[in-house]
Amino acid sequence: MRYRKLFYACLASVTLLSGCASSSPPRDLDDPTNSLYFGHIDMSDAPGGVNAADVEQIAPPTKFPYWKPGLRKGLFCLAILPPGSYQVTDFSGGDMVYDFPRQGNPTSVRIRKPGIYFVGSYKYVPVKTGFFEGAKFAIKRVNKPTEAELLRRILEYPDIQKSAWKKKIEARLAHLRQ
């Protein structure tokens, strides 16, 4: 499993700076069945920071369930997800991998129809443990950055500007302003 993730990590690293389209398997950014899955993670208190993440496709089952979101300054996003069930499984930085649980994972979302899915903003919080215990952490939901703030950042991505997402995101922002 980890080798498969590594393969996709390498694949995705080629396009990681292109915004929300970077992922595996490749899909057209303007595919009408696409959904935008995004959120924010503040890992400033984590020892290794964060420079990569994995989003797992829980359903429908697939041989290649790991999607590689674009990740910039804590904003993670995928703009090419087909309908299905997804959740963030881990963030990584340096030699550290921060695993999220399958059960009770706040980034879980079931996408039935194409749309914009904000899964929240989170902050890494270290948890005090005993001397002989392994390190633990918690992920706390926070109010900032808001969905609108993150959408405005996504709108700045050149590939998004040139895609069908521009209008959809602007419409969502207008709706959020109401």
Partner 1 sequence: MRPGIYRAAAALLLAALLSACAGPPRLPLNKLSEAKPGETIVVGRVEIVPPLAENEQKLTVGSGYLKDQLILITSDKFRRLTAEPTPGEYTGRIEARLDKDFTVRSSNKPFYILAGGIMTNGEDGQMAWFPGGLEVPIRPGDKAIYIGTLRYYRNEFMDVKKTVLVDDYARANAEFKKTYGARYSLRKALVRPVR
Q: Which residues bind partner 1 (CB under 8 A)?
A: 1-2, 47, 58-59, 61, 65, 85, 87, 90, 92, 95-105, 108, 110, 134-139
Judged by beta carbon, residue 31 or residue 90, the one nearer partner 1 is 90
Query: Residue 129 Cβ, how far from partner 1 at the closest point, in Å?
Result: 10
d(CA 1, CA 167) in angstroms, rounded, equals 37
60: cis peptide before it, omega within 30°?
yes
Name the amino acid, one letter, at 1. M
Q: CB nearer to partner 1: give 11 or 96.
A: 96
Closer CB to partner 1, residue 2 or residue 177?
2
Kindly state the greatest CA–CA separation across the chain. Answer: 53
Asked if residue 11 lies in contact with residue 24, where contact means CB atoms within 8 angstroms, the answer is: yes
Q: What is the residue type of 61?
A: P
What's the min distance (Å) between Cβ of 20 and partner 1? Answer: 23
Q: Which of 96, 94, 86, 19 is nearest to 54 (CA)?
A: 86
Q: Output 17 or 135, the one with its CB closest to partner 1.
A: 135
Terminal CA-to-CA distance of the chain, rounded, Å?
A: 44
The Cα–Cα gap between 79 and 29 comes to: 7
Q: How far is the CB of 96 from partner 1 (least distance, A)?
A: 5
How near is the Cβ of 110 to partner 1 at its closest, in Å? Answer: 8
Angstrom distance (rounded) from CA 124 to CA 21: 25
The residue (of 54 and 147) whose beta carbon lies closer to partner 1 is 54
- The CB-of-16 to partner 1 minimum distance in angstroms stands at 20
